[in-house]
Amino acid sequence: MSSLSLPPIVTVADLRSANPDTVVCDCRAYLDDREGADAYNQGHIPGARFVDLETVLSSTPGPGVGRHPLPSPVAFATGLSQLGISAEAPVIAYDDAGGMIAGRLVWMLRTLGQPAALLDGGIDAWDGELATSPPEILTTETPVRPWPSGATVNAEEVDQIIAEGGLVIDSRGPDRYAGLVEPIDPVAGHVPGAKNLPFAGNLSDGMFIGSDALAQRFTDAGVDADTVYYCGSGVSACHNMLAAEASGFGRGRLYVGSWSGYCTRSETST
């Protein structure tokens, strides 16, 4: 497989045949008291390096910006440098949640023009031995790359897009979208006018559904390259975005603040 043309989603067989310069990243993270680093230390795909959601893929949370705002270009470049991931290195990322977390790293890198892919099925699909020791990492000088302006939108733009008839997709489960439950954020509900397309519908038993069925999901939802996606904090929405891209509908745009930012906007003015 060419390192210059990684599709958004790859298989274990693809990983095994990937170019030797491919970097494998373990992105496991949890909403409970478990630590992704502990899971990594207990067993990971050989050669994988651990990428922390909170310190590498996010910056400081807060009202209006949500629970997982993007890191600054400088901070992200620093994190990649410390992980030994150059700007040219192809990356394959995985987790143990169907790609819900790892999709964030893949989306970030692809947005910057770097070859990156999500491992279908994650660590559960890996059929080889697991390692318990981290690989030797040689730090690199990864350049600072600004986030492309057209890749993301803010809350005001979301409201304007909906007012003009544009499509905004809420990637959370139907109960959270409907405001029936809200286990994390201070307010239940969804962005007025947003449509629900749970990212979990892309999966069956932890694996992506067939390509035809996946494409039909996005056809039925009416998505296109201008569609805006959000979730609770701008992480699991990337799963929908990668699935849409893999199905030929374009990557769309991410509302990074997502519901956790939208529902706390008023706090920024107090």
**Tally of domains in the chain:** 2
pLDDT at 33: 87
Whether 4 has a pLDDT exceeding 90, the answer reads no
Domain check: are 189 and 112 in the same one?
no
What's the token pair of residue 104? 């964030």
Domain check: are 179 and 222 in the same one?
yes
User: For position 262, which CATH number holds?
Assistant: 3.40.250.10
In a domain, 80, yes or no: yes
In a domain, 135, yes or no: no
Crossing angle (nearest 10°) for helices 237-246 and 211-221: 110
Closest CA to 74 of 167, 142, 165, 21: 142
- pLDDT bin (cut points 50, 70, 90) of residue 103 is very high
Tens of pLDDT, residues 113-140: 999 999 999 999 999 999 999 999 999 9
Domain check: are 86 and 164 in the same one?
no
In a domain, 226, yes or no: yes
Domain check: are 116 and 171 in the same one?
no
Domain check: are 121 and 21 in the same one?
yes
Domain check: are 29 and 67 in the same one?
yes
What's the token pair of residue 265? 């906007």
Tens of pLDDT, residues 183-210: 999 999 999 999 999 999 999 999 999 9
* Average pLDDT rounded to a whole number, residues 34-50: 98
In a domain, 100, yes or no: yes
Domain check: are 80 and 20 in the same one?
yes
pLDDT at 269: 54
Q: Which of 125, 141, 164 is the C-terminal boundary of a domain?
A: 125
Domain check: are 47 and 159 in the same one?
no
Domain check: are 194 and 258 in the same one?
yes
In a domain, 172, yes or no: yes
Q: Which of 59, 90, 125 is the C-terminal boundary of a domain?
A: 125
pLDDT at 3: 36
Q: Which of 125, 157, 191 is the C-terminal boundary of a domain?
A: 125
pLDDT at 5: 78
Contact predicate 96/34, CB 8 Å: no
Instruction: Tell how many helices (H) and how many strands (E) occur in the chain.
Output: 10, 12
Domain check: are 223 and 264 in the same one?
yes
In a domain, 136, yes or no: no
Domain check: are 155 and 261 in the same one?
yes
Supply the range of the domain harboring residue 56. Answer: 9-125
In a domain, 216, yes or no: yes
pLDDT at 1: 40
**Mean pLDDT, all residues of the chain:** 96
pTM here?
0.96
Catalytic residues: 231
Domain check: are 163 and 119 in the same one?
no
In a domain, 230, yes or no: yes
Distances (CA, A) of 85 to 143, 181, 254: 10, 39, 24
